[in-house]
Amino acid sequence: MKIPFTKMHGAGNDFILIDDRSLTFPIADQTFLARIGSRRTGIGCDGIILLQPSAGADLRMRFFNPDGNEQEMCGNGARCFARLAFSLAAVPKKMEIETLAGGIHAEVLDDQVRLVLTEPTDWRMGLDGGLERPVDFVNTGVPHVVVRVADLKNMNVGELGKRLREHEKFAPEGTNANFVKVEEDGTLSIRTYERGVEAETLACGTGAVAAALVAARNGWSGLPVTVHCAGGYDLGIDSSDGKTTLTGDAEVVFEGEMGYGNRI
């Protein structure tokens, strides 16, 4: 069986997107999901996204980490989802997307996509995460730890991120870990270790939102704020009618077909 796919990226976070409105994708085959997500033996990505029908929204977004495990949602992935869904004429420019984290609104702009996200939950400030400094925690659709640092460039994000990801305070699900520098102009620079990917990624939308919200709560900066991602792209975080918004690019990289039941 040949399965068409679209490779996209949002702020450097890359995804494999599949139009599964027919509900025929082999979603239960976790081994297959992990194989196509592998950068060495498959297509390679930070996440696999399915576009599916929804009973209560315009479309349903299913998001899987490259290890094949399903997660609640992904901010950069949701922007790619919205851009592709609109290009397929499956939704209007302003749409509602069903996710495991709840409903999110999206609007396709000229060259960017804006999301209105679910309410952040599970705030836990000033935690001892096993580092030399306190860490803050918030769930922005998925769990995130935020750590303020002075020297972002020379941080060992792999080692420290893994330590936080596996810390007992965040067990059993674990957490994503974000290391944030507050720049002189009030903008934020960020590097993120993502669970499921189990490595640093070039960007994380929900991580950028977590960093912006923690920075605002701690008085490090305010909203709106620009977050500079590791891949060189910027994300805009703001608040509208009491809801948090995430704005950034969503670009097609290439299209192709994958074979199911055969070697990729």
Nearest CA to 10 out of 250, 254, 208 is that of 250
Task: Transcribe 16-40 into DSSP letters.
Answer: EEEE-TTS-S-TT-HHHHHHHH-TT
Q: Is residue 45 annotated as a catalytic residue, yes or no?
A: no
**Omega of the bond prior to 172 within 30 degrees of 0, cis?**
yes
Q: Are 189 and 154 in contact (CB under 8 A)?
A: no
Write out the two tokens for 206.
């929900």
CA–CA separation, 111 vs 213, rounded Å?
25
Q: Which amino acid is at 150?
A: A
**Omega of the bond prior to 26 within 30 degrees of 0, cis?**
no
Q: Are 205 and 79 in contact (CB under 8 A)?
A: yes
- Among 45, 80, 204, 229, which one carries the catalytic annotation? 204
- Among 45, 74, 80, 229, which one carries the catalytic annotation? 74
**Cα dihedral 194/7/108/65 (nearest 10):** -30
CA–CA separation, 233 vs 40, rounded Å?
25
Q: Is residue 204 annotated as a catalytic residue, yes or no?
A: yes
CA–CA separation, 264 vs 259, rounded Å?
6
Catalytic residues: 74, 204
